[in-house]
Structure 1
Amino acid sequence: MSLPEGHPTVHEHWGRKCPVTGDSHDFCPPQEGDIRSVCPALNTMANHGYIARDGKNISAQDIVVGLKACYGLSNPLAYFLSYVGFIILRKFRRISLAEIGKHGAVEHDASLVHHDTPEGQEYAPIAIDPALVETFIADVRPTAKEVQGSTEDGVEFLMNAEDVGRSRVRREKECRPVDAIHAEIARGEMAIILGVWEKKTRTKAGIPVDWVQRWISEERLPEGWKPDHTENLLDVVKRAKSIKAAADMIRQEEAANVPPPKPV
């Protein structure tokens, strides 16, 4: 059966090779037989050919090289994320992206866009829930000045650490409890991208909301974007602390607003 006119060419990926994009880092979605993970950052790297496009036979060093080239991460940060991740997974050879989703290793409950791992399952679901994406984006609270300037051409709404903290509080109430280590991992995931894509306007510092939405739902980079600085481990630690501080403040405010129980 022939494909409809305009339908993307169905093809096979072999490692980093793509017959449609060639040797470029142009976006190509996963094809039949390709493997993906619960991690949008790694899936995006595969979709752009910074690691194997088929999501298979990937080494820790492949991920190091990909993180540096795709996101501009420093050597120490890239090595830390990749090799510590492999150690937590107890993997010392090449892996497929699916293996990253082993529940309770690097993967955790209360994902911003994935559902918790069903009871008795070894691996987390990789399907992205569009409703969760929309709710995540709705957690962004533009400043009054952003709203006032939104009628101007080129004005972007930005997501910052406070917005991410709000999302973390919401998801951790909706989902199963997350232990301290995995809560730190969850904050670190977003702290990285907050640093990689940070912009500063007259009213706010953060990352463009439309970039986040596209990245986390389509697992692709902003059109034409390239790293413009090196993101290091200290940057990520500072931003993760900012996310935690924002989340703690939101929890305190919510607790203060809870009415006392009625007398029996």
Structure 2
Amino acid sequence: MSLPSSHPEISEHKHSGKTCPVTGKGHEWCPPQPGDSRSPCPALNTLANHGYLPRDGKNLSVFDIISALKAGYNLSTFLAAFLTIGGFILLRRLTNVDLYEIGRHGRVEHDASLVHRDTSEGQKYAPISINQRLVDRLIADAKTGDEEGEGPEFGDRRILMDASDVARARIRREKESPRLDRMHAEIARGEMAIILGLWETKAGNNAGVPVEWVREWIGHERLPKDWKPTHVQGFRDVVRRSAAIRKAMEEQRKAEAEQVGEKHPPNVRSGTQVYLT
């Protein structure tokens, strides 16, 4: 695609700091440019796209990331420090990192991502490209019509994603992927628990995150235009919401198992559990 004559050449659009040289603003959204470093983590990529982190995503210190998490998402100091220091420990790094290093498979990064393909066998780093088909499926998991005022007929603006919806998505992806160990399963739940607490809104008796915000953030790595910080997101709330996702996953798996049992009752006369088909 050719650029207008007034448009600066892409080669001049170098992200060496937090301010975008094209927009001239510190926190205006701008997608990554050639040479910028990005990871499979939408939270950190979004911070770089908005200039809370250096836009090139390179040479990031512990303090850079803590400050960006606080400024961009309004996380508490303790939560931001816990996530950042824990991440550096898992990465086995004592010095600064580029964003791509966070994609080192099996450290902070894990299979069964909600919007990224699993890491191919033999690869050290996970894919960073967003799979829009997985984004659509994630949004569809919230369009269950189980709550008043929800359902596909109302469009994205009327649909709120809650812990039950996240649980449904996590179960689906974990069925499609290699088994997660306990630590990475907790990381996977915690990622969405933060967002549920950060962006929760209410509509009538329903509470959750507008799926249009989820699509904007996880599908385009951009902060929702209509969102303004209303509170500091703390550690305890994230733990509570992660536990709610885990409980919802357990309940949904139990319900699925019971449905399978009803469809395939054991043949008790044989003395063994041979399922009838």
Q: Percent identity?
A: 55
TM-score normalised by structure 1 residue count: 0.93
Matches within 5 A, 1:113-192: 113-140=115-142, 141-147=144-150, 156-192=158-194
Q: How has the CA–CA distance of structure 1 residues 151 and 185 changed in structure 2, closer, same or farther, with 3 Å as cutoff?
A: closer
Shift of 1:144: 4.1
Amino acid at match of 1:54: D
Shift of 1:262: 3.7
Distance 1:64 1:240 in 2: 21
Q: 2:39 is matched with which residue?
A: 37
Q: How has the CA–CA distance of structure 1 residues 34 and 250 changed in structure 2, closer, same or farther, with 3 Å as cutoff?
A: same
Matches within 5 A, 1:63-142: 63-140=65-142, 141-142=144-145
Of residues 233, 236, 239, the one that matches 1:237 is: 239
Q: Structure 2 unaligned runs (5+)?
A: 265-273
Which structure is richer in relative contact order (CA contacts within 8 A, separation 6 or more)? Answer: 1
Shift of 1:234: 0.2
Shift of 1:235: 0.4
C-alpha contact 2:19 2:27 (8 A) present in aligned 1: no
Q: Structure 1 unaligned runs (5+)?
A: none
Q: How has the CA–CA distance of structure 1 residues 161 and 9 changed in structure 2, closer, same or farther, with 3 Å as cutoff?
A: farther
Shift of 1:228: 1.4
Distance 1:45 1:178 in 2: 27
1:26-75 CA-partner distances (Å, limit 9, x unpaired): 10110111111000000000000000100101111100000000001001
CA RMSD in angstroms, aligned pairs only: 2.3
Q: How has the CA–CA distance of structure 1 residues 7 and 145 changed in structure 2, closer, same or farther, with 3 Å as cutoff?
A: farther
C-alpha contact 1:164 1:243 (8 A) present in aligned 2: yes
Q: 1:228 is matched with which residue?
A: 230
Amino acid at match of 1:21: T
Distance 2:164 2:2 in 1: 50
1:46 aligns with 2:66: no
Shift of 1:21: 2.5
Where 2:150 maps in the other structure, the secondary structure is helix
